[in-house]
Structure 1
Amino acid sequence: MFGRVALGIRGNMAKQLDYHTIREIFTRFHAAEPEPKGELEHVNVYTLVVAVALSAQATDAGVNKATRGLFAVADTPEKMLALGLEGVTEHIKTIGLFRQKAKNVIKLSQILVDEYDGEVPNSRAALQSLPGVGRKTANVVLNMWWGMPAQAVDTHIFRFGNRSGVCPGKDVIAVERAIEDNIPADFQRHAHHWMILHGRYICVARKPKCNACLIRDLCEFEDKTP
């Protein structure tokens, strides 16, 4: 699903770290940021679903810029339907794949009104049945809104997991399973946020900032930068 070059992964996957090392890694993450937050702006669970769905192949900053105006006028499925396809499209036209995403927003809003009385369901299967909502989006919503230990694996987590040895895997599902199996239960709630933020700002794809990494001594990545 993700190219190794794009992810900045060279050679083989790191070996799986042991329980005590993983616990120490997340103890440090917790000490540095006890309550990590996602960076997508939203005002309720509905706008969270829309924001995460719009973030596919787009940056959080770009999505936030587009949705501030959108959510100011449409923060419920009913209001989004009233705004209409053209209105949604106009608001999100700076986001990649905006035409298809606008269609998905309208379709999922209609389904929420018709089948769920305008409420967002809190099961992964129900969420994934909505247009434009995949497993990652569903897991983000379950984790951020309902506090479930669901793990949303994106490119940052996939890269970090394979480099560090925290949760190595050949595909997204394998990495998700490794997180669930190997990260201590008391860190599961915030695990994906810690890893996303670490991958986004420290363990970056091309030149990881290993000199600024608080788990450098525990990480299995062989090609650490000086």
Structure 2
Amino acid sequence: MGVTRRVVSSALLLLLGATVCFASRALLVAPQELPYGVGHGIGDVIPGGGWHFFPGYGAGGEFGGIGEYGGGYGGGSGSGVGYGAGGDHGGGYGTGAGTGSGGGYGAGGEHGGGYGGGGGSGTGVGYGAGGENGGGYGIGSGKGGGAGYGAGGEHGGGYGGGGGSGAGVGSGAGGEHGGGYGTGSGAGAGGGYGAGGDHGGGYGGGGGSGGGVGYGAGGDHGAGYGTGSGAGGGVGYGA
């Protein structure tokens, strides 16, 4: 009888201690300030679900960090979306596979300094580091993959590489659409926009319909080079 009582008492004490520990941890983290946690799996008993005694749920991190939505990683459909560390949506990195995966949003301005990589439809979109949509790099494959947006002006200094329809579009570094380089293959691939004036100093290379369009470097549409193959390929504008 005495042994049974000791065992029951010990079990109750252990249960009480664990309850106090988890409750204290939940209060210290203040989940109302970080409603989506520092990342999936942090504090979870089972990755991908389970108890949430402090912010964090699932496997692979989704929200949290320094800015409003900071720094997530993951895999699967719509996976790997990273939100912010600097401005409103800064310093995020997204990697993964599946539909819409690999979207990275910003570090510098409103949507700055993001990198996106992955595979599937619409993957690999990178948004900016300098101005409003500056200094972004996009890599990937699939429809609309590899779109890069800007570093200098409003849409400056972007590089885009990839394969598929509309891949490899590079927009600007100097003026409004300056100093961009576009390479790739497929319909409309390899469009490069400017470095000097409004649409200056661009180089475009690639293959397919409408590939290799280059726009200017000197005046409004000056000093452009166009190379490529297919219908409408290799169009060069001015000097």
TM-score by length of 1: 0.25
Higher strand share: 2
Which structure ranks higher in relative contact order (CA pairs < 8 Å, sequence separation ≥ 6)? 1
Greater helix share, 1 or 2? 1
In our comparison, the structure showing a higher alpha carbon Rg is 2
Q: Structure 2 length normalisation: TM-score?
A: 0.24
